[in-house]
Amino acid sequence: MKFLKLFVFWIGAMAVLPMTAQNSDECLQNLSIFAEYAKVKNYDEAYGPWMKVREQCPSLNVAIYSYGERILKERIEKAGPETLLAETSDLIKLYDQWLENFPTKKNVSIKGDIISSKAQAMLDYKTADKMEVYKTFDLAFKTDAKSFTNPKGLYNYFKTLYDLYKEGTHGVKMEQLFNKYEEVSEKFDLESVNLAKKLDVILKKEEEGVPISSREVRSKRVYGINSNAIGTFLSNLDAIISQEATCVNLIPLYKRNFEEFKSDAIWLKRAASRLDSKECSDDPFFVTLVEALHTLDPSADSAYYLGILKDKSGDSNEALKYYEESISLQSDPYKKAKILYKIAIKFKNAGRKSSARSYAQKALSFQPSMGRAYLMISNLYAGSANDCGETQFNKRAVYWLAADMAYKAGKVDASIEKLAIETAKSYEGRAPSKTEIFTEGNQGTTIKFDCWINSSVKVPQL
């Protein structure tokens, strides 16, 4: 009896082997066919062989899913009412199969990317209600936040929760909304810094006159596009939360939760940061937060906030000491740049232009791609047009200097390129005209500014 079972198993195995080999050959052939069609975006012809590979050999190649996503999205665009549901459902199914068969890329998890793409498709094609969409985004973030990097997906992750909060029927509380905002905005900051690090390597080469390769030129363009997307969606995120994150809402909320979280450094940092960004630091509770944070975890953040308190009390010298301490306590160059830029803003708002420029330049020394810092210097120069230069011509020549800084801001930071160019052109429009240059007869000469700017600009050639 035992021999008979073994014989039957052997016969069965022999019968399966040719079938498996045949299927494998057929799958490889169909894989090649659909891939060639997909490469030239002929998705109609790609569909047939693609479906065969997907059904027969789902773990053969990741192209089944990367191309399959494009194939199905085009079919959805072309679908009529009678086939739309089937096509959208199949796309959602494809993401589940992708997750099952290829959850990693080069041995690194991409689960967050796949699940968030599924959530975005659910939202785009209305295959689920907002609560299910949010839970899917949330699963992506909690499962693998590292690969969940798509700016649109991150924005919609928060936006769906915000919509549920506004509907008021899903039990979403304000605390949950603010906590999620902090998590998502921190993720945006992280992705922005990752791009800046890559971009700064290329910018440094260009600044040193080292030729960059065609690959680096392409990479620079891609980093710029991604940086612009992050900037856009982060601005949209801030616009949404600004409707709820007012001092009237924030202070009572943080007061109510303070006893529970006063030993949680992350909560204290987030609360202090939010109050500072919303100009709520005049409230006495801000002092309570900062003191608790500095006692619990003396850090660059707490030192910075102590500097703010000293500024508020009018002790600018003591404030500067804390700001400098904040910089010295921070080891990460990009976080250091962020602190320096914040300090520059404080000095700018206080009318201390030279100090503001100095700290903006220090920020740029740690992050050359920080276009905001160049734009601030540009604005500082433009704001001094009437204070520098003896003649009306020379006073307005400051605008050329301001325009140069604005153009530089757009060159290094694609996320503010449009604003930077608009600003530069605006300043050029205020500078002396060609007619005035001709009348003065000083084209190509250098004008020096002996005021706080302590720099010079060359009059354009006609």
- The one-digit pLDDT tens for each residue of the chain (462 residues) are 444 444 333 334 333 333 344 578 899 999 999 999 999 999 999 999 999 999 999 999 999 999 999 999 999 999 999 999 999 999 999 999 999 999 999 999 999 999 999 999 999 999 999 999 999 999 999 999 999 999 999 999 999 999 999 999 899 999 899 999 999 999 999 999 999 999 999 998 988 889 999 999 999 999 989 988 998 999 999 999 988 889 999 999 999 999 999 999 999 999 999 898 888 988 999 999 999 999 998 889 899 999 989 888 888 889 889 999 999 999 999 999 999 998 999 899 889 999 999 999 999 999 999 999 999 999 999 999 988 888 999 999 999 999 999 999 999 998 899 999 999 999 999 999 999 999 888 888 999 998 999 999 999 987
**Over 42-79, what HEC string results?**
CHHHHHHHHHHHHHHCCCCCCHHHHHHHHHHHHHHHHC
Sequence-distant (≥ 6) Cβ neighbours of residue 383 within 8 angstroms: 353
pTM above 0.85, yes or no: no
| Other CB atoms within 10 Å distance of the CB of residue 458 | 14
31-63 as b/e: b if 16+ CB within 10 A:
bebbbebbeeeebeebbebbbbbbeebbebbeb
